[in-house]
Chains A and B, each alone.
Chain A
Amino acid sequence: MSLSRPSSTELRCSRGIAGLRRWLRLALVFVFTLPGAGFATYGAEADDALVVEYQLKAAFVYNFAKFVEWPVDGGADAGAFTLCVVGELPYRVMQQALAGKRIRGLPLVIRSLNAPTGVDGCQLLFVGAGAGHLSFAPVGAVPVLTVGESGDFLRSGGMINLVRVDNRLRFEIARSTGERAGLKFSSQLLKLATPAGDAP
């Protein structure tokens, strides 16, 4: 009773104290997000536009991990979630953008792969466009989510391909490929995919 009463008055006087609080909170958010923004601008010294592109893709890749379920025994390393990146720039940007992130409680480990041969221990493989489709070998039945950014990535055995549609970043999903590998796509993810792939 004595606890709920102040909150109710707080609610009623939303233009007073609550309004002040909102501004305080916004200020805090701004202060905390400032260093991240500084990093981002710092890493994009080579090609700013490309870096921004990969930063966005890093966020996509990171979110994919959250909408895809891996088989329980699929993970080689149970202590971490391993993201393998093929391509130097993507790796560098992603390492910066996703540093310290966690997926399903596991720390995200980002590994750079120069050749797509050793996918052991990877749960998610991002194949940058710079590496070319030659350097990419489909991992087959191994439960590794493969994300690419080239036009025929799905045809060459990839699962998710990032594409730009109407100047917006979208993705295509080859659901059957993923399911063959023992992965399960969330319907939430599937509904957002562009219909280019075999996704619904």
Chain B
Amino acid sequence: MRLLRDAPIQWKLTLIIMLTCGVAVVLGVAALALRYVAAEQENLTRHMAILTRMVATNATSALAFGDQEWARRALAALEAEPEVCAADVFDADGKVFASFRTPCARQGETALDPTAEESRPPGLLLLADSLRVVQPIVLDEERIGTVVLMAGLEPLRADLLVDAVGLLCIVLVAGLVAFFFASRLQKFVSEPIRRLAATMKHVSAVKDYARHVESAGNDEIGELIRGFNEMLDQIRLRDEQLQRNVTERAKAAEVLRIHAKALENTVDSVMVLDADRHIVWVNKAFTLMTGYEREAVLGQAPELLESDRHARAFYDDIWSQAGQWQGEVWSRRRNGDIFPQRLSISPIRDQGGQISHYVSVGNDISPYKQYEAQLEHLAHHDTLTQLANRGRFETQLDETLARARRLGGCGAVMFVDLDHFKAVNDTCGHAVGDQLLRAASERIRQCVRESDLVARLGGDEFAVLLDGLSSSSVATKIAGNLVASLAAPFNIAGKELHISSSIGICCYPEHGSDADELVRNADLAMYCIKEAGRNGFRLYSPELAAASPLTEDAAPVAG
């Protein structure tokens, strides 16, 4: 049974067809054979009956007249019949009148029994030994004797055997033909299934989903094949989609990797925080900038970078921004250095709009800051003496005056002009002149307070702004110190140089409250002392302005 279950469908189908055909053929042949045997039997029986009747008729007169010779002659005619084994003619008294025997008669059987009824075996004659036919000899309604005929059934059996063999051959041939047709016909069913199975094996082995099974008709197998093909199509589509997805994912991963590399290697310091503002990732530039290794800061709060230069509210303000925040922040490195950085903090929102991460991109801008300070310095200072220049002086003056006006307090503006500097410049060269200017400005700085502003207005002209003086006498005292200091000889490049200075002083608020007025008055005071013989100072007074009305042309001549 297991063998049958595991057998290929084509064998099963062939077996079914052959079994069906075989049962039909066997039943048909059996019925036919039975009918044939019955007919043969009937035939034989009838033939024997006719023979017996003929013998009876032929032997009637012989029996009537006691002519045994003729009776024997009548019986001898039976020789032509191979089936007949024995025949006897009995007279009315049951005595044997004539007898006939062939070699097929059984040994020892001398006479047949005339009194026995006609023995005709019921059913199949084949099973009996012999057929006995009894025929009374009747003459004019008077029974004068009996003919008994015995037929052997061997010839019938032999015939039937031959016929049976022939029939068996026919059945075998029919079986072969049926097998031929069955093995052809079953392919209608099994062949598509076999192809389907083969394709399925191929597909599962090679994963070739583009392969299709040739459809066979519109029956259930055809539907099965179509369904299978559609399934293959779907698998192929899904496979391609999957492949595409994989490719896309690989590309996306590649992009992510590139992005990560880019972020990792960018010169900007990048720090990623989660929604609770814990550091989840930093790049190399971060480590370079802050000195913190990545492992040291993961999970930490960004407060470890905060410097004390900002109030707490400043940081709170940064983090409370809904969108991107940009600005400059003072931060602290691991080694404690404070440095400025340009910071950009952007929240990353998830699909629900909730902040999931923050990205903080920072740049160490301390070099820029230094450069900026240098530029600032260059803009406001004299490059030769490193003193403030005219612009800075005027700005500072305006601010100081404004504060003095607002808060009260007094101060002074001094114009210092070096006498005979042009001669030194002409005789000793510009280099010596420049060194002299530097030395002179140093002496001026030493004569004033640290908080006082000393500016070089140009050439050999200096200005000093003294703020927060208790009285103008302090100013004159400082001016006296200055004159004395500058009158001392300068030792420059191995030479002793002698110059002097003329200083004009103007105090505020008593001599004026706006810058122009103060500058003009100080300038006037300075020209007054220059006119008066140089090497000294002069405090401005209104009488001074009235006494010597200076013209603009006089100033350059005096310088």
Instruction: Show the binding face of A for B, using Cβ within 8 Å.
Output: 4, 7-8, 10-11, 14, 18, 21-22, 25-26, 29, 33, 60, 63, 66-67, 102-105, 169, 171, 186, 188-189, 191-192
A22 to B114, CA, bound (A): 9
**In the bound complex, CA of A25 to CA of B92 (Å):** 12
Question: Are B65 and A60 touching (Cβ within 8 A)?
Answer: yes
- Contact yes or no, B94 A14, CB < 8 A: no
Check B62 for interface membership: any CB of A closer than 8 A.
yes
| Known A8-B122, A191-B70: A66·B115 in contact at CB below 8 Å | no
User: Cα distance A51–B66 when bound, in Å?
Assistant: 18
Is B61 engaged at the interface, CB distance under 8 Å to the other chain?
A: yes
Q: With a CB–CB cut-off of 8 A, which chain A residues contact B119?
A: 11
Residue numbers in A under 8 Å from B61 (CB-CB): 63, 67, 186, 188-189, 191-192
Cross-chain contact B70 with A103 (CB below 8 angstroms): no
A169 surroundings in chain B (CB, below 8 A) = 66
A189 to B60, CA, bound (A): 10
Asked whether, in the complex, the Cβ of A22 is within 8 Å of the Cβ of B140, the reply is no
B17 CB to closest chain A CB, in angstroms?
42
- Do B70 and A21 have beta carbons less than 8 Å apart? no
Q: Taking the complex as formed, is B117 at the interface, i.e. its CB lies under 8 A from any CB of chain A?
A: yes
Closest partner residue, chain A, to B123 (CB atom): A8
Question: What's the Cα separation between A63 and B65 when bound, in Å?
Answer: 7
B residues sitting closer than 8 Å to A (CB atoms) are 57-58, 60-62, 64-67, 70, 93-94, 113, 115-117, 119, 121-122, 139-141
What are the residues of chain B within 8 A of A26 when measuring CB–CB?
94, 115
B141 touches A105 (CB 8 A): yes
Interchain CB contact under 8 A, A192 and B139: no
CB A138 to nearest CB in B, in angstroms, measures 24
> With the chains together, A10 CA to B119 CA distance in Å?
10
Task: Give the residues in chain B near A7, CB-CB below 8 Å.
Answer: 117
Interface SS of B by simple majority: loop
Which residues of B sit under 8 angstroms from A66, Cβ to Cβ? 64, 139-140
Given A8-B122, A11-B119, do A104 and B67 touch, yes or no (CB 8 Å)? no
- A18 partner residues in chain B, CB cutoff 8 A: 116-117
In contact, B140 and A104 (Cβ under 8 angstroms): yes
Whether A63 contacts B139 by the Cβ 8 Å rule is yes
What CA separation (Å) do A178 and B447 show in the bound complex?
212
In-complex Cβ contact of A188 among B60, B93, B117, B122 (8 A): B60
Return B506 CB to nearest CB of chain A, in Å: 171
Closest to A104 in B: B140
Give the nearest-CB partner of B62 in chain A. Answer: A192
**Chain A residue at minimum C-beta to C-beta distance from B115:** A22
- Whole-angstrom distance from the CB of B172 to the nearest CB of chain A? 37
What is the chain A residue whose CB lies nearest that of B122? A8
Which of A22, A33, A67, A104 is in CB contact (< 8 Å) with B64?
A67
Q: With contacts defined as CB atoms under 8 Å apart, how many contacts are there between chain A and chain B in the complex?
A: 52
- Main secondary structure, interface of A, reads helix
Taking a contact as CB atoms under 8 Å apart, the answer to whether B94 and A11 are in contact is: no
Beta-carbon contact of A4 and B122 below 8 Å: yes
B116 proximity list for chain A (CB < 8 A)? 11, 14, 18, 22
CB contact between A21 and one of B64, B65, B66, B115 (< 8 Å): that residue: B115
Shortest A8–chain B CB gap in Å is 5
Given A8-B122, A188-B61: A22 and B139 interface contact (C-beta under 8 Å): no
Q: How far is the CA of A172 from the CA of B139 in the complex (A)?
A: 21
- Expressed in whole angstroms, the minimum distance between the Cβ of B164 and any Cβ of chain A is 26
CB closest residue in chain B, given A26: B94
Name the residue on B nearest A11 (C-beta). Answer: B119
Task: Return B166 CB to nearest CB of chain A, in Å.
Answer: 32
Chain B residues lying within 8 Å of A8, measured Cβ to Cβ, are 121-122
In the bound complex, residues from chain A placing their C-beta under 8 Å from that of B140 are 66, 102-104
B64 contacts A63, CB within 8 Å? yes
Query: In the bound complex, how far is the Cα of B140 from the Cα of A171, in angstroms?
Result: 21
Q: Lowest 8 A-B CB distances belong to which pairs?
A: A188-B61, A63-B64, A22-B115, A66-B140, A192-B67, A11-B119, A8-B122, A192-B65
Q: A26-B94, A171-B65, A188-B58 are in contact. List 5 more A-B contacts (CB 8 A).
A: A4-B122, A21-B115, A22-B115, A103-B140, A192-B70
List B contacts of A186 (CB < 8 A). Answer: 61
Q: How far is the CB of A72 from chain B (nearest CB, A)?
A: 17
Among A4, A7, A102, A188, the one with the most B-chain Cβ atoms within 10 Å of its Cβ is A188
- Bound-state CA distance A191–B62 (Å) is 9
Chain B nearest CB from A87 CB (Å) reads 21
Cβ distance A172 to chain B, nearest Cβ, rounded Å? 13
Report B94 CB to chain A, min CB distance, Å: 7
Give the most central of A10, A60, A192: most B CB within 10 Å: A192
Please give me the residue from chain B that is nearest to A66 by CB atom.
Answer: B140
Least Cβ–Cβ distance between B462 and chain A, in angstroms: 166
Q: Can you report 25 A-B residue pairs in the complex whose CB atoms are below 8 A from each other?
A: A4-B122, A7-B117, A8-B121, A11-B116, A11-B117, A14-B113, A18-B116, A26-B94, A26-B115, A63-B61, A63-B65, A63-B139, A66-B64, A102-B140, A103-B140, A169-B66, A188-B57, A188-B58, A188-B60, A191-B61, A192-B61, A192-B62, A192-B65, A192-B67, A192-B70
Which of B61, B62, B113, B119 has the largest number of chain A CB atoms within 10 A? B61
List A contacts of B65 (CB < 8 A): 60, 63, 171, 192
CB distance from A9 to the nearest CB of B (A): 11
Q: Tell me the bound Cα distance from A192 to B64 in angstroms.
A: 10
Of chain A, the residue at the smallest CB distance from B118 is A11
Query: In the assembly, what is the distance between CA of A191 and CA of B74, in Å?
Result: 11
Give the docked Cα–Cα distance between A26 and B93 (Å): 8
Residue of B nearest to A105 (CB): B141
- Closest approach, in angstroms, between the C-beta of A185 and any C-beta of chain B? 11
Q: Given the interface contacts A103-B140, A192-B67, does A29 sit within 8 Å of B62 by beta carbon?
A: no
Contacts of A33 in B (CB 8 A): 93
Measured CB to CB, the nearest residue on chain B to A4 is B122
Question: With A and B bound together, what is the CA distance between A27 and B235 in angstroms?
Answer: 105
Instruction: Name the residue among B62, B116, B139 with the largest chain A CB count within 10 angstroms.
Output: B116
Q: Which residues of B contact A60 (CB under 8 A)?
A: 65
Report the Cα distance A11→B121, complex, angstroms: 9
> What CA separation (Å) do A104 and B138 show in the bound complex?
12
Q: What are the residues of chain B within 8 A of A105 when measuring CB–CB? A: 141
Closest-by-CB residue of A relative to B114 is A22
Tell me the minimal C-beta distance from A63 to chain B in angstroms. Answer: 4
List chain A residues, Cβ under 8 A from B64.
Answer: 63, 66-67
Cα of A169 to Cα of B68 in the assembled complex, Å: 12
- Chain B residues whose CB sits within 8 angstroms of the CB of A22 once the complex forms: 113, 115-116
- Distance A116 CA – B458 CA, assembled complex (angstroms): 220
CB-CB under 8 A from A4, the residues of chain B are: 122
In the complex, what distance in Å separates the CA atom of A189 from the CA atom of B117? 30
